[in-house]
C-alpha cells in the first residue's frame, strides 16, 4: 500500500468565510494529496494516478466478457479481496482486485473507518446525467475504463439552479453554469474524493458533479467507495 502522508499538497490562497465559502480542488501526483480533503477550502481532491497497461488490458477484457456487471457490497480492508474474488469470479482479475483493495485500505485509513460501501459497475449510459450534489460526507470515485466524472468548480456554480431550481431545463440551459468551458472532467484512472453536503462545515459547498454522457457502443467501469458505519 502507498502510504498517505501530508506531502505534495496543493497551495491555496488566503481563505475568508465571512461572506462566501471558498472551495477549490486540490491535485497531486502522489496519494498523499488525499489528506487535503481535511482542508476546509477543499471540496474535492484529485490523485492524478495512471493505470498500468496490464491493468488497462485486463479491465478491457473483463468488460467485454461482463458487459452488464454490477457489484455492491460492504467490505473491510481485511475482507475486500475475498469479497471481490467471489464477485468477479475470475482469477485473471487479480491486478484489478488488488488495485481496488488498495483503495479500500487507503479510504478506510484516511477516514478512520472499519468498513466501506463498495460499488463496482460497468456502465453503458450516464448513471446520474444531471449535475447534482451528494448528501453524504465524502465519496471516492475512480474510472478504470472509459470517460470519467464531470464536475464544476464551486465558484462557477449558481447553486439555486440545482435540482428543482432548474425548472426542468437541461444543465446547459438552466443557468447553473455560464459556459461549457466551466465543466471540468477527471481522467480515466485518476482517484477523486468528492466532499458532500454532510461533511461538517461544508453545507452549501458540496461538490457539483455528474456522470458523463457515453458515446454509443462505449462502456466505463466505475468504482465508488462510501462511508459505512
Concatenated DSSP letters of 97-141:
HHHHHHHHHHHHHHHT-SEEEEEEEEESS-SS-S-B--SSSEEEE
Tell me the CATH class for 24-148+187-228: mainly beta
Query: Where do the structural domains in the chain lie, given as residue ranges?
Result: 24-148+187-228
Concatenated DSSP letters of 10-67:
PP------SSS---EEEEESSGGGGGGGGSTTEEEEEE-----HHHHHHHHHHHHH-T
* Matching residue, cell 488525499: 34
The answer on pLDDT for 11 being more than 60 is no
Predicted TM-score of the model (pTM): 0.89
The answer on pLDDT for 209 being more than 90 is yes
Task: Categorize the per-residue pLDDT at 125 as very low, low, confident or very high, splitting at 50, 70 and 90.
Answer: confident
Amino acid at each position: 500500500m502507498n502510504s498517505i502522508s501530508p506531502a505534495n499538497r496543493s497551495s491555496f490562497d488566503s481563505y475568508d468565510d465571512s461572506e462566501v465559502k471558498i472551495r477549490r480542488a486540490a491535485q497531486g501526483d502522489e496519494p498523499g494529496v488525499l489528506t487535503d480533503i481535511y482542508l476546509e477550502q477543499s471540496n474535492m481532491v484529485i490523485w492524478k494516478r495512471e493505470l498500468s497497461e496490464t491493468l488497462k488490458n485486463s479491465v478491457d477484457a473483463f468488460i467485454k466478457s461482463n458487459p452488464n456487471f454490477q457489484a455492491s457490497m460492504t467490505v473491510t480492508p481485511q475482507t475486500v479481496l475475498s469479497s471481490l474474488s467471489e464477485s468477479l469470479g475470475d482469477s485473471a482479475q487479480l491486478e484489478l482486485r488488488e488495485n481496488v483493495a488498495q483503495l479500500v485500505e487507503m479510504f478506510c485509513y484516511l477516514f478512520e473507518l472499519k468498513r466501506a460501501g463498495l460499488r463496482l459497475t460497468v456502465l453503458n449510459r450516464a448513471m446520474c446525467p444531471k449535475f447534482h450534489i451528494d448528501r453524504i460526507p465524502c465519496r471516492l470515485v475512480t474510472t478504470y475504463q472509459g470517460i470519467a466524472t464531470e464536475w464544476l468548480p464551486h465558484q462557477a456554480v449558481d447553486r439555486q439552479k440545482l435540482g428543482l431550481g432548474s425548472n426542468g431545463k437541461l444543465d446547459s440551459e438552466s443557468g447553473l453554469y455560464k459556459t461549457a468551458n466551466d465543466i471540468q472532467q477527471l481522467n480515466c484512472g485518476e482517484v477523486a474524493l468528492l466532499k458532500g453536503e454532510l461533511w461538517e462545515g461544508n453545507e452549501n459547498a458540496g461538490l457539483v458533479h455528474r456522470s458523463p454522457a457515453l458515446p454509443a457502443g462505449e462502456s466505463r467501469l466505475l468504482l465508488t467507495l462510501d462511508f459505512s458505519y
